Amino acid sequence: MNGTKSRITSLRRELERHNYNYHVLSAPTIADCEFDYMMRELQQLEEAHPEYFDPYSPTQRVGSDLSKDFEQVSHKYPMLSLGNTYSEAEVREFYGRVARSLNESFDIVAELKYDGASISLTYKNGKLVQAVTRGDGSRGDNVTANVRTIRSVPLSLIGDDYPDEFEIRGEILLPWSEFERINKEREEQGESLFANPRNVASGTLKHQNPSVVAARKLDAYFYYLLGEDLPTDGHYENMEAARSWGFKIPPVIRKCSSLEDISEYLSYWEKEREHLPVATDGIVLKVNSIKQQLNLGYTAKSPRWAVAYKFQAERIATRLNSISFQVGRTGAITPVANLEPALLSGTTVKRASLHNEDIIIGLDLHIGDNVYVEKGGEIIPKIVGVDTESRTTEVGEKVSFIKNCPECGAELIQPEGEAAHYCPNAWGCPPQIKGAIEHFVTRRAMDIRIGPESIEDMYNAGLIKNVADLYTLGLTDLVKLERWAGKSAQNLLDSLSESKSVPFERFLYGLGIRYVGETVAKRLSRAFPHIDKLKQATAEDLTAVDEIGERIAQSVTAYFADERNIALIERLATFGLKMYMEDDGSSNRTNKLSGLNIVISGAFAKHSRDEYKQLIELHGGKNSGSVSGKTDYLLVGENMGQAKLEKASKLGIKILNEDEFLNLLEQ
């Protein structure tokens, strides 16, 4: 083995070991920066030596930008649902049925039931070859490309004592910490919040873009092994073997030999589950012996050898005192129930979100009602019902959604197809003005060192009315404010000066255009590397960019159609902020494709779709999202859209493959 290949092999082995230590054992042995350094070295070596490509390399976990539909795959072993129990009495009935049917001693394995998206993985010769969702139990979606990005899923197994081929079942989960981060980001973008991590995990797993899946930081816990040549007859023992192969087997799994053991387990986790990093909704009880499992068999819908004990969602009843309506930075109006303080899941609940008008109408709320509040699988307390039987004639007025903004009085609007109401007065509504400034200065946007309280003070003092006003602040303005001294004022001015070198995509994110989060801002900045290009982009131009749908396109075009936004951007430009991609290829610009409309379809080997779109623009051409009589070329890769291909052939449009297009640019 030559030196380069040996180094690549060594790096892959080391990175997988550290990946296992961090994501499965939660016991890292090196610093993140050292891991990143090794990963960069491996990426550079693999790019320089494509002959050593390996689909199981740690570098392949990031996910590509290739979008594709999911293939339907039949399960070798059907993924059946479990029968549910809701009380210890029902658990005892299950235990008694098993005892009568087997008429011999048996053990029960107790484990937590994680609330995520079920998955079945197939391994051959120690390599992950397929990942399939539950689907309808008989067939599921092949989501292998997405699952490969989840770092707690081993691509290659440890050791050599695993079967040549087997299936392992598990749950794809979104940790609470990541769920909170995503919801905070959605709130900043004016989007509705996700209700629970399960919905996000399931939706992410079916995302068409694996790179988005990789960014979501999903986790995976495993709970069942299937195959023709399993290590032992014991489910518990098989899970311990799987742990040694590199799978994340929850440490809470326990083998019980009596009803007392089971009862103790149920009682313990009823409370302790609140401290887990992921969502759970119950406990699964399984007969340990696989031979005994086979003897017990199945009903039409579920195995007779296993049952799920479902936790009761914690619920309290308390009084609804009033309803407040909050205005977000994008103008979204959120109704909030103000409650009589009550203890729920270890915390005192005083408020609960009602989300939108539809929720209020469905609950038929009246001020003074006794309402039921739950957390359950939700992290945000929510009202799930009203005790109408206790409602008296003294109850207050029926709750209705407001018609005007509670802050500025503007008449609210409700966009077609959306549940949320918005205040349209972005330039005159104080919470929206201050919210836009707070968003602009965040670390992920312009990274200006100023907090919400200071923004409030400056706004109230008349120093700032929009983000451009920040750059007009002087030392004498700031030291007049309460709690501001010369040093803190100078730190802010230095921070404002440093923000002028912030990259274009972060500036674009900082503008706070509705639905334009960090990922969308990066895509837009790559596709339109100068603010002037983005200003002039039509809805069709925007939807031609991967992952940009009609809703985002309409929001962007509406933003740039407002002369006040244009004036704001022009004013910001005078202060020297970056309005273009630092490396947009301007020095290599030509007119080789001037006047040509080009449609791209398929997946490519030498460049990504976005890179080809940039090349087209760099050489004077125009990207188009659909084939028409105005199309000059159709650039096709693998798995190109058949409809586009047929239409292009019918219209006599010249079809180019990847090499032909690159040769065209070289001429």
CATH number at residue 359: 2.40.50.140
What share of the chain in percent tops pLDDT 90?
Answer: 50
**Domain end among 310, 338, 359:** 310
Q: Which of 310, 335, 361 is the last residue of a domain?
A: 310
Per the CB < 8 A criterion, the answer to whether 119 and 170 are in contact is: yes
CATH of the domain at 646: 3.40.50.10190
> Looking at the structure, do residues 626 and 592 belong to the same domain, yes or no?
yes
Per DSSP, the residues of 104-169 read S---EEEEEEE-SEEEEEEEETTEEEEEEE-TTSSEEEB-HHHHTT-TTS-SB-SSS-S-SEEEEE
- The angle that helices 3-23 and 32-48 make with each other, rounded to 10 degrees, is 140
- Same domain (yes/no): 9, 116: no
State pLDDT tens for residues 272-323: 887 889 988 899 999 999 999 999 998 767 899 999 998 877 788 999 999 9
The last residue of a domain, from among 460, 481, 499: 499
What is the reported pLDDT for 346? Answer: 60
Q: Which one is predicted more confidently, 367 or 25?
A: 367
Q: What is the reported pLDDT for 516?
A: 92
d(CA 278, CA 181): 14
* Pick from 101-115, 140-154, 349-363, 628-642: least confident: 628-642
Same domain, 365 and 448: no
Over the stretch 145-156, which tens digit does the pLDDT of each residue have?
899 999 999 999
Q: Quick one: tokens of 538?
A: 């039509």
How far out from the chain centre does Cα 92 lie? 40
Residues 120, 253, single domain; the answer is: yes
Residues 77 and 222 in one domain: yes
Do 180 and 379 form a contact (C-beta atoms < 8 A)? yes
More confident position, 57 or 96: 96
pLDDT at 65 over 60: no
Task: Report, in this order, helix, strand and coil percent for the chain, each rounded to 5.
Answer: 40, 20, 40
Determine the pLDDT at residue 406. Answer: 96
Q: Is the pLDDT of residue 587 over 60?
A: no
Residues 346 and 306 in one domain: no
- 239 and 107 in a common domain: yes
Q: How confident is the model at residue 27 (pLDDT cuts 50, 70, 90)?
A: low
**Per-chain mean pLDDT for the chain:** 87
> Considering the domain boundaries, does residue 544 fall inside one?
no
In this prediction, residue 66 has a pLDDT band, given cuts at 50, 70 and 90, of very low
Residue 113 appears among annotated catalytic residues: yes
Question: Is the pLDDT assigned to residue 64 strictly greater than 60?
Answer: no
> Which tens digit of pLDDT belongs to each residue from 367-416?
999 999 987 555 568 888 899 888 877 778 899 999 999 999 999 999 88
The answer to whether the CB of 238 falls within 8 A of the CB of 232 is yes
Instruction: Kindly report the CATH number assigned to the domain that includes residue 23.
Output: 1.10.287.610
For the cut 60, the answer to whether the pLDDT of residue 459 exceeds it is yes
For residue 407, which of 389, 434, 385, 381 has the smallest C-alpha distance?
434
580 assigned to some structural domain: no
Say what the pLDDT of residue 302 is.
83
Q: Domain tally for the chain? A: 5
Residue 61 pLDDT more than 70? no
Weakest mean pLDDT among 43-47, 276-280, 438-442: 43-47
Alpha carbons 28 and 19: distance in angstroms, whole number: 8
Per-residue pLDDT of 511-520, as tens digits, reads 999 989 887 8
Mean pLDDT of 42-47: 83
The whole-number pLDDT of residue 665 equals: 86
Same domain flag for 222 and 331: no
Give mean pLDDT, residues 75-95.
Answer: 89
Q: How confident is the model at residue 604 (pLDDT cuts 50, 70, 90)?
A: confident
> C-alpha angle 456/462/463, rounded to 5°?
85
Residue 389: what pLDDT? 85
pLDDT tens digits, one per residue of 158-190? 999 999 999 999 999 999 889 888 888 777 666
**Nearest CA to 209 among 46, 64, 307, 85?**
64
pLDDT tens column, 611-644: 788 788 788 888 877 788 889 999 988 767 677 7
Q: Are residues 446 and 325 in the same domain?
A: no
pLDDT score of 105 more than 80: yes
Single pTM value for the model: 0.54
Domain holding 466, by residue range, is 430-499
> Among residues 532, 535, 505, which one has the least CA distance to residue 519?
505
Angle at 439 between CA 433 and CA 443, to 5 degrees: 150
Residue 451 has pLDDT above 80, yes or no: yes
Query: Domain for residue 250, yes or no?
Result: yes
Does residue 529 fall inside a structural domain?
A: no
Say if residue 56 is in the same domain as residue 108.
no
Say which of 5, 68, 76, 113 is annotated catalytic: 113
Domain shared by 138 and 189, yes or no: yes
Q: What is the pLDDT of residue 283?
A: 95
pLDDT surpassing 60 at residue 33:
no
- Mean pLDDT to the nearest integer, 17-45: 70
Q: Which tens digits make up the pLDDT trace of 230-263?
A: 999 999 999 999 999 999 999 999 999 999 999 9
**Which value, in Å, is the radius of gyration of the alpha carbons in the chain?**
29
Residue 559: inside a domain: no
Residue 208: the pLDDT is 73
pLDDT of residue 464: 96
The pLDDT-based confidence of 448 (bands split at 50, 70, 90) is very high
The pLDDT tens digits for 213-225 are: 888 889 999 999 9
Most confident of 206-220, 461-475, 592-606: 461-475
Question: Does residue 24 carry a pLDDT above 70?
Answer: no
The structure tokens 């920040």 sit at: 470
SS (H, E, C) 595-643: CCEEEEECECCCCCHHHHHHHHHHCCCEEECCCCCCCCEEEECECCCHH
Residues 51 and 85 in one domain: no
Q: Is 520 among the domain residues? A: no
**CATH number, domain at 263?**
3.30.470.30
- 320: in domain: yes
pLDDT of residue 123: 97
What pLDDT does residue 207 have?
Answer: 80
**Between residues 428 and 190, the one the model is more confident about:** 428
Q: Which distant-in-sequence residues (6+ apart) come within 8 Å of 328 by Cβ?
A: 187, 190, 334, 431, 432, 435
Position 538 scores a pLDDT of: 94
- Within a domain: residue 409? no
